[in-house]
Amino acid sequence: MSTYLQTKEKITAGHFSSIYFFYGTETYMMDDLVWQISRHALGDTERDFNFSQFDMRDVPVQEGIEEAETVSFFGPGRVIVFQHARFLTGAKDKDMPLHDLKRLETFLNDPPPENIVVFAVESQKVDERKKIVKKLKDVGETVEASPLQGDRLKQWIREKAKEENISLTAEAIDELLGRSNSDLLTLEKEIQKCAQYVNFNGEINASIVRALVPRSLEDNIFQLIDAVSDNYTAKALQLFDDLLRNGEEPIKIIALIGRQFRLLNLAAEMDKRGYSQQKIARQLGVPPFVAKRLSAKAKTVKGEAVGRALSLIAETDYKMKQGAVEKKSGVALLIARLPRVLAA
């Protein structure tokens, strides 16, 4: 199995496989790899004739195989993409077309070497028990499109910046990650925005990122909790008001406040046990830079205080959902009370 970055590097260098198998939750990666294959394997004029996509939710796989077996008359080869191949997962879709998997297996035994065939499915897991899944992994280049983290994510940012003829300082990368929540599509758009700001030539520092890139919802929540724990109630209430003006619902805001305090509690416990930040990140399912922030904040807040805060959050959330307290005023009162709870 190859990583997304390894496969992309080979594709851009002109080294292709006849069969590719992409699966995972990070659709940006799969779409990007398909684009890179079509871009580097086909010329601009060839793409109109030799690039085909089939939606496996509507089209049976055998129909696409017929095209994959057809010789190209307008170039050296073809690129055929089988999208949404949910028959490779354990999904039970009643309206799924009848896919002839024996026909597919026969095709995979001897695919035309001049063509490139891609199977892609948006699923965290595929059904490893299925014979066809094992066959695809045996004959094809397999990529699990899972979210990038740590150094791999930073490497992706540096490469994406290079494509825009700019560079980012280490501090700028950290600031960008803190504001974009590791979503690749969002990161790409923000990098392009920064590149445009310096006219696609120069270095981006942290101050430029702060000026151009808005904070993510989770980052705003973390800033709110920072303000609460530092007893800056006015600042915390201003952040809450900003979130409301941006269209966020009070119920969602209190849920995220509760989630951040739970993560804070878990990070503190893991830190006591000597867990590394990488391990804390894996256990909590957050990027390493978030684990770092949580560990740092956990050192400034007592565990008993976090427990009291969680109790108050749960109580307020219950009252809001029961209609015993108006939602906006309920969250505002919670924010006003939290500094005293954390300081007690």
Looking at the structure, do residues 109 and 233 belong to the same domain, yes or no? no
Predicted pLDDT at 91? 80
CA distances for 112 relative to 39, 238, 338, angstroms: 20, 62, 65
Say how many domains are in the chain.
3
The residue segments making up the domain with residue 10 are 4-145
What would the pLDDT profile of 179-235 be if each residue is shown by its tens digit? 876 788 889 999 999 999 999 999 999 999 999 998 878 888 888 998 998 889 999
Q: Name the band, by pLDDT with cuts 50, 70 and 90, for residue 40.
A: very high
State the first-to-last Cα distance of the chain, in angstroms, to the nearest integer.
Answer: 52
Residue by residue, what is the 3-state secondary structure of the chain?
CECHHHHHHHHHCCCCCCEEEEEECCHHHHHHHHHHHHHHHCCHHHHHHHEEEEECCCCCHHHHHHHHCCCCCCCCCCEEEEECCHHHCCCCCCCCCCCCHHHHHHHHHCCCCCCEEEEEEECCCCCCCCHHHHHHHHHCEEEEECCCCHHHHHHHHHHHHHHCCEEECHHHHHHHHHHHCCCHHHHHHHHHHHHHHCCCCEEECHHHHHHHCCCCHHHHHHHHHHHHHCCCHHHHHHHHHHHHHCCCCHHHHHHHHHHHHHHHHHHHHHHHCCCCHHHHHHHHCCCHHHHHHHHHHHCCCCHHHHHHHHHHHHHHHHHHHHCCCCHHHHHHHHHHHHHHHHHC
pLDDT band at 311 (very low <50, low <70, confident <90, very high): very high
> Shortest CA distance to 256 belongs to which of 202, 182, 198, 334?
334
Whether residues 13 and 138 share a domain: the answer is yes
Cα 161 from Cα 167, distance rounded (Å): 6
**Shortest CA distance to 99 belongs to which of 138, 72, 124, 133?**
133
- How big is the chain, counted in residues? 344
* Residue percentage of the chain with pLDDT more than 70: 99
Q: Which of 124, 145, 166 is the last residue of a domain?
A: 145
Residues 18 and 100 in one domain: yes
Per-residue pLDDT of 138-147, as tens digits, reads: 999 999 998 8
- Quote the pLDDT of residue 83: 94
Kindly tell me if the per-residue pLDDT of 314 is higher than 90.
Answer: yes
| Domain end (from 114, 145, 176) | 145
* Confidence at residue 287, expressed as pLDDT on a 0 to 100 scale: 73
Q: What is the pTM of this model?
A: 0.69
**Residue-wise pLDDT tens digits, 6-29:** 999 999 999 999 999 999 988 999
Do 178 and 228 fall into the same domain?
A: no
- Whether residues 163 and 263 fall in one domain: no
pLDDT at 122: 92
Pairing of strands 19-24, 141-145: parallel
According to the model, what pLDDT value does residue 337 have?
93
What pLDDT is stored for residue 179 in this prediction? 81
Q: Residue 318's domain is classified under what CATH number?
A: 1.20.272.10
pLDDT at 51: 92
**Residue 73: band (very low, low, confident or very high) from pLDDT cuts 50, 70, 90:** low
Q: How confident is the model at residue 302 (pLDDT cuts 50, 70, 90)?
A: confident
Same domain for 207 and 254, yes or no, is no
Section 23-48 average pLDDT: 90
Q: Say if CB 201 and CB 166 are below 8 A apart.
A: yes
- Residues 6+ away with beta carbon under 8 Å from 76: 114
Q: What is the CATH number of the domain that holds 172?
A: 1.10.8.60
230 and 336: one domain? yes
Mean pLDDT, the chain, integer:
90
Do 206 and 230 share a domain, yes or no? no
Residue where a domain terminates, one of 115, 145, 175: 145
For 204, phi and psi rounded to 5 degrees? -100, 125
User: Do 165 and 290 belong to one domain?
Assistant: no
8 A C-beta contact, residue 41 and residue 79: yes
Task: Report, as an integer, the average pLDDT of 240-251.
Answer: 90
With beta carbons less than 8 A apart as the criterion, state whether 176 and 197 touch. Answer: no
Considering the domain architecture, whether residues 137 and 166 belong to the same structural domain is answered as no
CATH value at residue 110: 3.40.50.300
pLDDT of residue 268: 87
Q: How far apart are CA 243 and CA 232, in angstroms?
A: 17
Does 170 share its domain with 126? no
Residues 264 and 333 in one domain: yes
| Strand partners for 23 | 121, 144
